[in-house]
Amino acid sequence: MSAPVVPRPDAPAVRTGRRSALVLTLASVAGLMMFVWPLLLDPGADDGQRTDAPFLFVLILPVVIGVVVAELSEDGMDSKALAMLGVLSAVNAALRPLGAGTAGIETVFFLLVLGGRVFGAGFGFALGCTSLFASAILTAGVGPWLPFQMMCAAWIGMGAGLLPRRVRGRAEIAMLAGYGVVVAYLFGMLMNLAFWPLLAGVEVPGHDGSLAYVPGAPLLENLHTFGVYTLLTSTAGWDTGRALTNAAGIVLLGPALLATLRRASRKASYGVRGTFGDRDHGPDEGSGPVVR
């Protein structure tokens, strides 16, 4: 099994070189700032009219996501990865309406976690984007929330691909289930944070006592108000429902699905390029066989 012609069973479906990693990091930093903007906003002395920042971000975030996806696909997304991406997105888009709106059961994330785990971080990122995009197109749900949802889902898929790869068996399922729970709460919190000033209102100075956002207030104060807001509005209902769905999905279906996904990954043998014998294009497995 040590011959170079045998593809690694856990080779990432989408190669991410150093430059892709850099682009991913920069885009994640920019994206994170657009999520936590209410905490960063400091009106300063000149004007206090920048609470309409999210409208600007709704335009910037798609550009950022587009750049990352373009870089990922340029760095190495072959037709096998594309087809797998399409099929998994379709499954995710089909799973999503199953739980939509009923007590926070969100069925879209557990397959995202499993897919990112098996096919790697770059694929997980792309899968998060395409899943949410495809399901938005199928359900006519395109709107300003879409780029934010896509970014969050992309992070979830990417994070699952970055978890330690050595862990296998029961420990792996436990790790993924724990990750699913953490991610469910984080997703709810980040989405709430980005749209909190829009839904709970922006506070005029000198009047307090509600859950509204106060631009420029000390970080801890705003964080506290937001904590209460998110606890009251979503943690008990949606977020916990989402966390339970994730954990249940991963524990009950995880072992079978992981095996299925790994089998598919092995069959597709990512990381091996078909060659015609003139020169090798593959970066690590030099003389790979023509697959299938």
Partner 1 sequence: MTGATVRRAGLPRDLHPGAWWLWALGLATAASRTTNPWLLLLILTVACHVVVVRRSDAPWAMAFRLYLYLGLAIVLLRVAFRVLLGGDTAGTVLVPLPTVPLPDWVAGIQLLGDVTAEAVLAGLYDGLRLATMVVCLGAANALANPKRLLASMPGALYEVGTAVVVALSVFPQLAESVQRVRRARRLRASGGGRVNAVRTIVVPVLEDAFDRSLQLAASMDSRGYGRAGAAPRRDRAVTGTLMVTGLLGVCVGVYATLDGTAPRVLAGPVLAVGLVVAAVGFVVAGRRVERTRYRPDRWRLPELLVVASGVGTAVVLFLTSSFDPQDVYPSLTPLTWPPVATLPLVGVLLGVLPSFVAPPPLRTPASGSRATEAVR
Is the Cβ–Cβ distance between 191 and 150 less than 8 Å? no
Cβ of residue 268: shortest distance to partner 1, in angstroms? 6
Closest CB 287 distance from partner 1, rounded Å: 17
Nearer CB in complex with partner 1: 171/259: 259
Cα separation, 56 vs 142, in Å, equals: 17
* Identity of the residue, 75 or 174, whose beta carbon is nearer to partner 1 in the bound complex: 75
**Which is closer to partner 1, CB of 2 or CB of 49?**
49
Q: State in angstroms the smallest separation of the CB of 94 from partner 1.
A: 5
Q: Report, in Å, the least distance between residue 222 CB and partner 1.
A: 11
With a CB cutoff of 8 Å and minimum separation 6, the contacts of 268 are 13, 80, 84, 291
Residue 190: C-alpha distances to residues 2, 126, 129, 183, 248 (Å): 45, 20, 17, 10, 23
The three-point CA angle 7-8-10 to 5° equals: 135
When the beta carbons of 4 and 227 are compared against partner 1, the nearer one is: 227
Nearer to partner 1, 82 or 166 (CB): 82
Helix (H, G, I), strand (E, B) or coil at 202: strand
For residue 35, CA distances in Å to 152, 180, 229 come to 9, 20, 16
- What's the min distance (Å) between Cβ of 164 and partner 1? 25
Q: How near is the Cβ of 166 to partner 1 at its closest, in Å?
A: 25
Q: Which is nearer to partner 1, 4 or 201 (CB)?
A: 201
168 contacts: CB under 8 Å, gap ≥ 6: none
Residue 11: closest CA among 69, 104, 80: 80
